[in-house]
Amino acid sequence: MNKIRNILDLKKIKEQTLNKRESQKIILRTCNTGCRARKSQKVIDVLDSAINEKGIQDTVKIIKTGCHGFCEMGPIIVVEPESIFYRKVKPEDVHEIVSQLTEGGVVERLLWSDPVTKGRIPFERELPTYKRQKKEVTYKCGRIDPVDIEDYIAADGYSALGKVLTSMSPEEVIRTVIASGLRGRGGGGFPTGIKWKMCSEAPSDIKYIIANGDEGDPGAFMDRSLMEGDPHSVIEGMIIGAYAIGARQGFIYVRDEYPIAIEHLSMAIRQAEEYGILGKDILGTVFDFNIKLNRGAGAFVCGEETALIISIEGRSGTPRSRPPYPAIEGLWGKPTIINNVETFANIPLILSKGSDAYASLGTERSKGTKVFSLVGKVQNTGLIEVEMGTTLREIIFDIGGGIRKGKRFKAVQTGGPSGGCIPITRIDMPVDYDSLREAGAIMGSGGMIVMDETSCMVDVARYFIDFLMYESCGKCVPCREGLRQMHYILENICRGDGEEGDIETLIEIGQFMMTSSLCGLGSTAPNPVLSTIRHFRSEYESHIYDKKCIAGVCKNLFEYFIDAGLCNGCTLCRLKCPEHAISGEKKKPHLIDSSKCIKCGICFNSCKYEAILVK
Amino acid sequence: MNFKAIDNILEKYNHHHSDIIGILQEVQHIENFLPEGTLRYISRKMEISLTKIFDIVSFYKAFSLKPRGRHIIKACCGTACHLGGALQNLDQIQRILNIKEGETTADRMFSLETVNCLGACALAPVVVVGDEYHEAMNVGKMEKIIVACRQEEGDS
Amino acid sequence: MKIPIIIDGHLVQVDKGATIMSAAKKAGVFIPTLCYHEALKPYGACRLCIVEVVQNKQRRLVTSCNYPVETGMEVLTDTLKVSQMRRMIVELLLARCPEMPAVQTLARRMGIEISSFKIREAKECILCGLCVRFCEEVVGVSAIGLSNRGTEREVSTPFEAPSDVCIGCGSCTYICPTGCIEMVNDEKTPGMRSMNMGNLSLKPCPNDYKCTTCDIERHFIEEMKGAITRFREKFRNSTEL
């Protein structure tokens, strides 16, 4: 362990680490964060044994990395120096990979293949999903060992901090961040530099800086991946921010549901302390700064900044009114900056590249790149990073590979429970803060959920209202009672008890909540409902007037039936039906008894011939 | 109630009131849930009103006032999982174990909880059993996992 | 330092940091409230005190109980938008507590007989939080508190068990606007006074029935009841909307 006393020490560590790599001819970058759910740890263990067995451990190194982004294809191994991309690697594949390492070949069947042409693409940089992306903030995820600070330093980590602490004043740092045009990546989109300026000018000896890692939007895992895959970038961003505003104590608030993120951040903080990057006299300057890790406890509302502050103070996360704004009066009444972890991860880039270079990416009012979690009904689900202004079409069809199972695109939901659904008519819109807002959605933290014709938009609205009813703090009347009433109406509609006037009432309650709720949760809660009514009103009307759910989701409003022309009598559905509602002989078309059918969907999802349809 | 262990945790946090949430998480980790007696003890030792502690443990859903099973099944109900059929999976688990969400089986083997997004959306729908993540969950797979847990306990 | 602002056309000078509500009081302008009390920190939960603020050519709706005044601010307490918002709040509360007289009176003053929203479960508490906040901030014992979250948020004692810190002062029943907390004298057990709110707590005599305070207790309860009735009359008459 080397205590870093100044910039020269930093440079020395970088050189030493890079030199160590010289002898490692082959590097295997294996994801061990998100891919753990697909047993990547086992793959790595077998890989390690196989390499040692072969006696090549001096020239072949395994780096356990964070998320590579192409989650659909995990577990992933990328073999350097050529960047050969192996996907869906199982423990039994390892021996073949290892033998090819020394023979200079590749394992064909583990390469990614184009679903249409079936052609195999061996190199990471040529995969269509990566070609349109611009990995800046997530560049190191998937390349470095997130819990090895020397790996981070070798990749130029903490060099921005060195530059800031030794050659820039706090005011210069703030000017640079303002000039970069960086806007908060957590959902609000407020100009980061302006917030920092407000806080730096607030008169107080004690100030605080907080990283919001309470990524609660369902469907979003950008922050999770950053905290797991490159925790030092968040730490570096926070130290620079603390220097800019004059804070000596920082906090990172992480969701309780992210155990790996908590583990990696704890390790990263500890290492930073050991190396002198956190603590007293950082990099030989008179700047002191410490970071404490706080765990969330299962409350989505704690992602709201005032609720998060109250949670750190040891109370229930009920938001409070603003003013006073946290930048002036926050944690324990002191001026406090709260920024999302992705916002902080942008900071080292801005300070090392310079604000002009940073601002050369993106659009007029939305600079830089944005990390999104592209999930739902797309082929290539995973973590992506694109330049602001990239269109939805490019994201969903080029990067995402289009809709899976040959189905049709119906809508994409952005911004989580505060966001909205965007239909096919807007597929060519640029993804930036203002365009999304105009379309009735928001950027949010970056969750992008793609839906196809089997998704019911009324059910989606009901899902979000149910989520918010449970997650709301319950303090103010508009949010608590407004959500309750919206829930009753949507429940009725989905059950087949919708009435004339329901749509208008939903709109009325929604507009009321937007203007009179105490906090952002309540004021944005109506968005999913209002946006689905705006773009998919006919679906609401067919639920209410025709009592029909054409997507086949709302159980009372559709029936399953077997198309005799498509059914080949394989008997799979009959065997799986828990209610014995399907009858038929082998090799003859089967029949569903609607009176017994409970719409569990087991037959629909099991049928290999797509012979079970919805009416 | 393990007084010594609780006292150690309180010492570690210097009895700071603002660390009450972290303290309760560590205590729950030892005791599997938060018994009333334990909360009264912490209230006395830390001089925080029991009312405030009860507000916290009932507000934050990570806390459980009831004993939980040895295998905690968490069904993710995030948006991607919802679209992928999380509710059908939940129904199936409830059918197999004969308990509702939030409940524990009579033999204290399984508890069923829902989570509002685990951040593993690319693997939707996700169900976590203990520390193990299971992706693309469907009704067939769920049954196998429960059987496997039962066998594992039977063996040990 | 005094700041000039205009409320409904009246010019008032108020201290820096004062709330719009205190400025309105000074100007003699009435703003309806439910969860506000001058002895307690502003809470901002009922939203009934919403007003429209015009500042830097922008109009916004804010709660007057906790929004600080600023130079150049113009406040409008009775615009169409404001009355629409207040009406919605009352309709929602009426759907929540359709049988509580205080809520019915509030609604009737706005011309609402029955809520146009769905009523599933008639509750008694409007969750204004006055009882909880008073017990914590003024009395200082925190015998009752809030628990759960969202639509399940409620006032209760820890574990819904009889409180062992309640001193039986009766503040909660005094301050409750709907009357869903009652003070009850138990004739059989002298000195036994209980605050009842559904299944809520019971407090035995703090002197363990060892002194002669029970007679004084009986008189006290009669006086308390009188004071509460007078207070509620005043409340009903003052919430002119």
- CA distance, residue B77 to nearest chain A CA (Å): 8
| pLDDT tens digits along A509-563 | 999 999 999 999 999 999 999 999 999 999 999 999 999 999 999 999 999 999 9
Instruction: Give the integer Cα–Cα distance in Å for A282 and A239.
Output: 10
Locate the chain C residue with the closest alpha carbon to B36.
Answer: C159
Q: Name which of A323, A481, A516 is nearest C68 (Cβ-Cβ).
A: A323
In this structure, which CATH number among 3.90.930.60, 1.20.1440.230, 2.40.10.350, 3.30.565.10 belongs to the domain A457-544? 1.20.1440.230
Residue B65 domain flag: no
Q: CB under 8 Å to B77, separation ≥6 — which residues?
A: A218, A467, B86, B87, B90, B114, B115, B116, B117
| pLDDT tens digits along A53-86 | 999 988 899 999 999 999 999 899 999 999 999 9
- Token output for A262: 């908590």
Query: Locate tokens 């089967």: which residue?
Result: A590
Residue C150 domain flag: yes
- CA distance, residue B121 to nearest chain C CA (Å): 25
The model's confidence at residue B92, banded by pLDDT at 50, 70 and 90, is confident
Do the beta carbons of residue C130 and residue C235 sit within 8 Å?
no
Locate the chain B residue with the closest alpha carbon to C143.
Answer: B51
CB contact under 8 A, A321 and C63: yes
- CA distance, residue B148 to nearest chain C CA (Å): 35
Q: List, by residue range, all CATH 3.30.70.20 domains of chain A.
A: 559-614
Please tell me which residue, A483 or A572, carries the higher pLDDT value. Answer: A483
Instruction: Give contacts of A506 with chain C, Cβ < 8 Å.
Output: none
Locate the chain B residue with the closest alpha carbon to A75.
Answer: B123
Which of A302, A332, A463 is best to mutate for the B interface (most B CBs within 10 A)? A463
Q: Name which of B36, B51, B58 is nearest C148 (Cβ-Cβ).
A: B58
Contact status of B133 with chain C (Cβ, < 8 Å) = no
Which of C144, C146, C163 is best to mutate for the B interface (most B CBs within 10 A)? C146
Do the beta carbons of residue A369 and residue A350 sit within 8 Å?
no
Residue B99 domain flag: yes
Query: Are residues C230 and C134 part of one domain?
Result: yes
A residues 316-355 lying closer than 8 A (beta carbon) to B = 316-317
Architecture of the domain spanning A559-614: 2-Layer Sandwich (3.30)
CB contact under 8 A, A221 and B63: no
Query: Are residues C154 and C229 part of one domain?
Result: yes
Q: List, by residue range, all CATH 3.10.20.600 domains of chain A.
A: 369-452
The chain-wide mean pLDDT, for chain B, equals 90
Mean pLDDT of A118-125: 93
Query: Are residues B82 and B50 part of one domain?
Result: no
Instruction: Give the integer Cα–Cα distance in Å for B12 and A443.
Output: 41
Residue C166 domain flag: yes
**Partners of C68 in the beta sheet?**
C19
**Is residue A349's pLDDT more than 70?**
yes
C residues 186-225 lying closer than 8 A (beta carbon) to A = none
| pLDDT tens digits along B25-41 | 999 999 889 999 999 99
Mean pLDDT of A147-163: 96
Mean pLDDT of A206-231: 95
Question: Exposed, middle or buried by CB within 10 Å (0-12, 13-18, 19+), for A555?
Answer: middle
CATH number at residue B127: 3.40.30.10
Contact status of B54 with chain A (Cβ, < 8 Å) = no
- Burial code (b: 16+ CB inside 10 Å, e: under 16) for B56-82 equals bbbbbbbbbeeebbebbbbbbbbbbbb
Do the beta carbons of residue B107 and residue B92 sit within 8 Å?
no
Residue C226 domain flag: yes
**Is residue A98's pLDDT more than 70?**
yes
CB contact under 8 A, C145 and B36: no
DSSP A435-472: HHHHTT---TTSEEEEEETT--HHHHHHHHHHHHHHHS
Contact status of C111 with chain A (Cβ, < 8 Å) = no
Contact status of C25 with chain A (Cβ, < 8 Å) = no
Number of domains in chain C: 2
Q: Name which of A72, A217, A221 is nearest B120 (Cβ-Cβ).
A: A221
Mark residue C2 as left, alpha or beta (left: phi above 0; alpha: psi -120 to 50; beta: remaining): beta
CATH number at residue C175: 3.30.70
Residue type, C62: V
Mean pLDDT of A395-417: 94
Closest CA to A451 of A413, A499, A480: A413
Mean pLDDT of A126-141: 94
Number of domains in chain B: 2
Query: Are residues B75 and B128 part of one domain?
Result: yes
Residue C116 domain flag: no
Query: Are residues B79 and B43 part of one domain?
Result: no
**Is residue A371's pLDDT more than 90?**
yes
Mean pLDDT of A344-353: 97
Q: List, by residue range, all CATH 3.40.30.10 domains of chain A.
A: 26-80+84-122
Query: Are residues B47 and B78 part of one domain?
Result: no
Consecutive H or E run containing A103: helix A94-103
Domain assignment of residue C63, given as a range: 2-78
Provide CATH code, domain A26-80+84-122: 3.40.30.10
CATH number at residue C51: 3.10.20.740
CB contact under 8 A, A219 and B117: yes
- CA distance, residue B76 to nearest chain A CA (Å): 9
- CA distance, residue A185 to nearest chain B CA (Å): 17
Question: Exposed, middle or buried by CB within 10 Å (0-12, 13-18, 19+), for C6?
Answer: middle
Domain assignment of residue B15, given as a range: 3-59
CB contact under 8 A, B52 and C142: yes
Instruction: Give the integer Cα–Cα distance in Å for A454 and B85.
Output: 11
**Is residue A262's pLDDT more than 90?**
yes
Residue C101 domain flag: no
Residue B29 domain flag: yes
Consecutive H or E run containing A503: helix A502-516
Query: Are residues C229 and C151 part of one domain?
Result: yes
Residue C106 domain flag: no
Query: Are residues B105 and B50 part of one domain?
Result: no
Q: How much of chain B, in percent, has pLDDT values that exceed 70?
A: 99
Instruction: Give the integer Cα–Cα distance in Å for C37 and C26.
Output: 16
CB contact under 8 A, A516 and C47: yes
Query: Are residues C148 and C211 part of one domain?
Result: yes
Q: CB under 8 Å to C188, separation ≥6 — which residues?
A: none
State which residues of chain C have pLDDT below 70. Answer: 186-223, 231, 235-241
- Token output for B148: 């496997």
| pLDDT tens digits along A548-580 | 999 999 999 999 999 989 998 898 899 888 889
Residue A345, pLDDT score: 98
Provide CATH code, domain A149-359: 3.40.50.11540
Residue C202, pLDDT score: 43
Residue B88 domain flag: yes
Residue type, C44: G
Residue C102 domain flag: no
Mean pLDDT of A253-280: 96
Provide CATH code, domain A369-452: 3.10.20.600
Residue C190, pLDDT score: 60
CB contact under 8 A, A71 and B85: no
Pairing of strands B132-134, B127-129: antiparallel
Instruction: Give the integer Cα–Cα distance in Å for C50 and A315.
Output: 27
Residue B18, pLDDT score: 95
DSSP A410-422: EEEEESGGG-EEE
Contact status of C161 with chain A (Cβ, < 8 Å) = no
Q: How much of chain B, in percent, has pLDDT values that exceed 90?
A: 52
Mean pLDDT of A586-613: 88
Instruction: Give the integer Cα–Cα distance in Å for C97 and C89.
Output: 12
CB contact under 8 A, A475 and C45: yes
- CA distance, residue C183 to nearest chain A CA (Å): 26
Q: Name which of A72, A257, A296 is nearest B119 (Cβ-Cβ).
A: A257
Residue C241, pLDDT score: 39
Which of A300, A325, A329, A485 is best to mutate for the C interface (most C CBs within 10 A)? A485
Instruction: Give contacts of A311 with chain B, Cβ < 8 Å.
Output: 21
The chain-wide mean pLDDT, for chain A, equals 94
CB contact under 8 A, B25 and A470: no
Contact status of B45 with chain C (Cβ, < 8 Å) = no
- CA distance, residue B3 to nearest chain A CA (Å): 22
- Burial code (b: 16+ CB inside 10 Å, e: under 16) for A145-178 equals bbbbbbbbbbbebbbbbbbbbeebebeebbbbbb
CB contact under 8 A, A221 and B55: no
Query: Are residues B50 and B114 part of one domain?
Result: no
Q: Which residues of C touch B (CB under 8 A)?
A: 136, 141-149, 156-159, 165
B148 backbone dihedrals φ, ψ, rounded to 5°:
-60, -40
Contact status of B54 with chain C (Cβ, < 8 Å) = yes
Do the beta carbons of residue A480 and residue A474 sit within 8 Å?
yes
**Is residue A289's pLDDT more than 70?**
yes
Locate the chain C residue with the closest alpha carbon to A484.
Answer: C151
| pLDDT tens digits along A164-177 | 999 999 999 999 99
Which of A315, A378, A576, A603 is best to mutate for the B interface (most B CBs within 10 A)? A315
Do the beta carbons of residue A289 and residue A278 sit within 8 Å?
yes
Helical H segments across chain B, by residue range: 3-12, 20-31, 36-46, 50-59, 79-83, 86-97, 139-155
Do the beta carbons of residue A246 and residue A170 sit within 8 Å?
yes
Contact status of B58 with chain C (Cβ, < 8 Å) = yes
Locate the chain C residue with the closest alpha carbon to A506.
Answer: C117
Residue C224 domain flag: yes
Residue C209, pLDDT score: 45
